[in-house]
A = this chain, B = another copy of it.
């Protein structure tokens, strides 16, 4: 589990945590039933508050990425490979719908947008 927190970003810390961990689960870098470190340990290592970690964990659980066993810890959910793919698309499309509105609003056609992405994906 590899987390990098940016304090200068305008993205809330709990959101950064959620995005990075969910991405690692989706990419299979965290195996099913892997036990996440205790929230207090994560908090201490990242030098953030326990409550911030808790908030991210709650969001992960609500999206079905992890499950909690009180007194034991939090674990990566047992998702089938195709479920992982679905989660990936779900998250991507959720954001895409909002983003596309913006680009459309600027007057970009589908082709304009596709071309810009090709040139900026690196």
Partner-B contacts on A (CB < 8 A): 7-8, 10, 12, 19-20, 23, 26-27, 67-70, 72, 88-89, 91-93, 95-97, 99-100, 102-108, 110, 113-114, 116-118, 120-122
- Is A120 in contact with B93, judged by CB distance below 8 angstroms? yes
With contacts A7-B72, A69-B7, A69-B8 taken as known, whether A106 is within 8 angstroms of B120 at the C-beta atoms is: no
Please list the 9 inter-chain residue pairs (A to B) with the smallest Cβ-Cβ separation, ordered nearest first: A27-B107, A110-B121, A23-B105, A7-B69, A99-B99, A96-B120, A23-B106, A8-B67, A114-B114
Report the minimum CB–CB distance from A107 to chain B (whole Å): 5
Secondary structure of the A contact surface, majority rule:
helix
